Amino acid sequence: MAVFINPFTDFGFKRLFGQEDSKDILIGFLNALFEGELKVSHIVYRDKEKLGESARDRSMIYDIYCTGEDGREYIVEMQNKSHVNFEDRALYYASRSIVGQAQKGSKWQYELRPVIGIYFMNYTEDVLKGRFRSDYMLIEKKTHQRLSNRLRMIFLQMKCFKKTQDECKTDLDKWTYIMNHMETLDNIPWKAQNELFQKLEELSKVAAMTPEQRAEYDETLRQYRDNLAVRSAAIKEGERRGERRGERRGKKKGKSQALKSIAMKMIDKGMEDSSIVELTGLSLDELNKVRSGNVS
C-alpha cells in the first residue's frame, strides 16, 4: 500500500492544493513556479464555478481558482487526459475569467486584473514539443515585446520532467519531482530544508485520512487507474494488430491501420472524440478522416 496519496487524482490534487489548510502549500508552489519574477504571499480561494452570462451558457468548473494579494487571478488545473482542441479550451477558460471582470456602468474603463492559467498535464501534447514547461503570453512577433500581462497560460507536461532526485536544484524541480514520484515514496525529500515539504508529507499520508476521506480518495484513485488501464489496453491492441499487418504492409502503416479500425469501433459505440483521441493517439484530423470513411 502506498504511503502517500496520488496527486494526479481529483481528491489528491485538491487535498494538497485546493483547501484552506493547504493554502500555504499552493503559495509555495506558485513562488517556485515564478521564482525571480513575482512573489505570492497571500491568496484567497474563489468560487470555482463561474456561471455564464445567461442561464443557457455552460458553467465552467476549475480545479482551483484563487486571487493573489496583488489582484492576479490564478486558474490551476490538473489534466489527466487529452481534450479535443485543448489549447482553445485553456484559452476559453482564461478568457472568460477576463470577461468576468467587466463592471456595469459608465465608470468602468476596461481596467483588468492579470489572469494566469496553470495546467498540470499528466500526458503529452504534440504542440508542446516535448517541453516540460511552456509559457505563453501576448507578445509582438518580431521583437517579442509583451503587449500585456493580462493573459498568460503555463503548461507543465509532467511526463517530460526526467530529472533524478540528485539533479533537482531549483524549488520547481523539487516540487515536480515530488509530485511525479509521491505515490512511490516512503518519505518526502528535502523536508529538512523546506518546512512546506514537511507539511506536504503530513497532509498527503494515506493513514492520516478519515474513513470518509479514504473512501472518497479510493474512488477517485479507482477512476484514475481505470482510465490508465483502458488507454494502455487500447495502445497494446493497436500495437498487436499493427505488428500482424506489418508483415504484409509495413509495421508502421499496419499499426496506424489498426488504430484507425479501433477508432471506428469506438465511433460506432458513440464514444466522445476526446476519449477516442486519448485512447488511440490519433489526431482530431485523423479521427475526422476515419469518420468520413477515409481510413487509408
Residue 296, pLDDT score = 53
Residues of the chain with pLDDT under 70: 48-61, 230-239, 241-255, 269-270, 294-296
Q: Percentage of residues in the chain with pLDDT exceeding 90?
A: 60
Residue 56, pLDDT score = 45
Residue 53, pLDDT score = 47
- Give residue-wise pLDDT tens across range 180-234: 999 999 999 999 999 999 999 999 999 999 999 999 999 999 988 887 776 666 6
Match 515530488 to its residue by C-alpha cell.
178
Residue 206, pLDDT score = 96
Mean of pLDDT over the chain: 86
Residue 61, pLDDT score = 61
Residue 265, pLDDT score = 79
Residue 48, pLDDT score = 66
What is the reported pTM?
0.77
Residue 289, pLDDT score = 85
Residue 248, pLDDT score = 52
Question: For the chain, what are the domain ranges?
Answer: 10-207, 213-291
